[in-house]
């Protein structure tokens, strides 16, 4: 609080006049950061292309601003902004024939997957910065165990597994989009599966 007060050129008691404490300050900072990020634009693209853009946006914004994750978990972000985003997403999907509930379910599935991917990105970036990359942690764990344990992971590593988080994210996203298409009786085309 003192650093923020100093940065703003006010006293700490003066800062407390505007915010209740550290958590309130973090919430305000998270809301400000979120309000400055441009949401994916609806340009009439296919529903799957729009959801893919939304997922990339969600993953990138949350991974770049870890404070938003904690604010999201605590429910401290502005509900009105969140509801505007959800309504916009449901409208975009409705334009392509989704019923409102199916549109919400599709948006939520993609958003949940992208949020999880952002958390993974934050965790792995921190581990890599400490010299503890995922593959080295896996090899270390395998080396400490008898050969008859974690057989499936050993087989994956033996096959030359490389972990490209961006490629893995796109692949998982395609799986979710194909599932949404199948569940809603929509064709699986290039917008759903870019491969």
3-state secondary structure the chain: CHHHHHHHCCCHHHHHHHCCCHHHHHHHHHHHHHHCCCCCCCCCCCHHHHHHHHHHHHHHHHHHCHHHHHHHHHCCCCHHHHHHHHHHHHHHHHHCCCCHHHHHHHHHHHHHHHHHHHHHHHHHHHHHHCCCCHHHHHHHHHHCCCCCCCHHHHHHHHCCCCCCHHHHHHHHHHHHHHHHHHHCCCCCCCCCCCC
Per-residue pLDDT band for 181 (boundaries 50, 70, 90) equals very high
pLDDT reading at 117 higher than 70: yes
Domains delineated in the chain = 37-183 (1.10.357.10)
Mean pLDDT over residues 53-75, rounded? 84
pLDDT reading at 150 higher than 60: yes
pLDDT (tens digit per residue) in 163-173: 788 999 999 99
């Amino acid at each position: 609080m003192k650093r923020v007060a100093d940065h703003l050129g006010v006293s700490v008691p003066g800062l407390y006049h505007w915010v209740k404490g550290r958590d309130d300050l973090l919430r305000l900072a998270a809301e400000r950061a979120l309000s400055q990020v441009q949401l994916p634009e609806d340009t009439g693209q296919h529903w799957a292309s729009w959801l893919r853009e939304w997922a990339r946006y969600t993953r990138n914004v949350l991974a770049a601003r870890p404070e938003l994750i904690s604010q999201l978990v605590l429910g401290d972000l502005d509900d009105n902004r969140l509801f505007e985003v959800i309504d916009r997403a449901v409208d975009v999907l409705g334009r392509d024939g989704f019923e409102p509930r199916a549109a919400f379910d599709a948006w939520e599935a993609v958003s949940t997957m992208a949020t999880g991917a952002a958390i993974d990105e934050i965790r792995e970036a921190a581990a890599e910065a400490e010299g503890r990359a995922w593959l080295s942690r896996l090899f270390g764990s395998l080396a400490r165990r008898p050969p008859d344990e974690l057989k499936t992971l050993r087989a994956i590593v033996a096959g030359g597994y490389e972990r490209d988080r961006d490629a893995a994210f796109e692949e998982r996203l395609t799986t979710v989009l194909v599932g949404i298409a199948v569940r809603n009786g929509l064709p699986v085309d290039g917008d759903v599966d870019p491969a």
